[in-house]
Amino acid sequence: MTKVTAQLSVSMDGFYAGPQFAGEGDWMDSAESAGFFRVTRWVTDAMAWRERQGFAGGEQDTNSDVVAESFGSAGAYVMGRRMADGGEVPWGEEPPFRAPVFVVTHRPRQPLLRGGGTSFTYVTDGVASAVEQARAAAGGKDVAVAGGGSLVRQVLKAGLLDQLDLHVVPVVLGTGLRLFDADLDLGEKEAIELTPTRVIHAPQVTHIRYEVRGRAPLVLDDRGSGGGPTVTE
């Protein structure tokens, strides 16, 4: 059954990139990109990611398996406009998605067909519509919300997210673009509850998979449910 999933690499203090690029000079030299490349280093080191980009080399390890699993489970993508714009040139004629991508944007645009099965469809009537169109195109596989953080928050806030994979990178950045920010519209003493269903421990990154349970009041007797814990050293 199709799930709506999201994943993001974040620092221990919750940033998926450094502070937002002001638009002067080269993004590649910016503090935003320095933070982004630090938290995604485990991805760019992974053979499964490098293969999709047409790059040689890389590590064939559990991190690479996580990347491969992520590509393999996605039947369609939903993407923010900023990420789609930023990737359009570097991804080239054969982007790594190999599936339909639905870009949430305010600017109407004709669909862009690329090689290897990737297409970009520009959706101007909101994130819920993009998720529905992706679901219809996913062929029973998952709909992957590809980011950035603002889009993941919108999907979470709208109650549309089923699963969140956080790749927690062992670094403190101190400042930057946050995955979780103040625009989730949580009430006082209200929270979003999740359940961790899988943890993968590697020296470079801790992969935690969460099932989203939904909004719940913060009450003292709202006890969590059970299940056996396991230890990995």
Residues in contact with a second copy by CB under 8 A are 11-14, 18, 31, 34-35, 37-38, 41-42, 45, 61-63, 156, 166, 168, 170-175, 178-180, 182, 184, 186, 188-204, 206, 208, 210, 218-220, 223-233
Q: Report the candidate in 121, 82, 129, 81 with the shortest Cα–Cα distance to residue 99.
A: 121
Rg (C-alpha) for the chain, rounded Å, is 18
Q: Which is nearer to a second copy, 64 or 105 (CB)?
A: 64
- Least distance between a second copy and beta carbon 56 (Å): 16
- Least distance between a second copy and beta carbon 160 (Å): 15
- Least distance between a second copy and beta carbon 178 (Å): 8
Angstrom CA distances, 98 to 52, 75, 86, stand at 9, 9, 18
Q: Which is nearer to a second copy, 20 or 175 (CB)?
A: 175
Helix (H) or strand (E) holding 123: strand 119-123
Rounded to whole angstroms, the Cα distance separating 185 from 115 reads 40
- Least distance between a second copy and beta carbon 113 (Å): 33
Burial class (CB in 10 A: 0-12, 13-18, 19+), 119: middle
Q: Which is nearer to a second copy, 112 or 171 (CB)?
A: 171
Provide the token pair at 205: 């990154």
Q: Which is nearer to a second copy, 145 or 179 (CB)?
A: 179
- Least distance between a second copy and beta carbon 108 (Å): 33
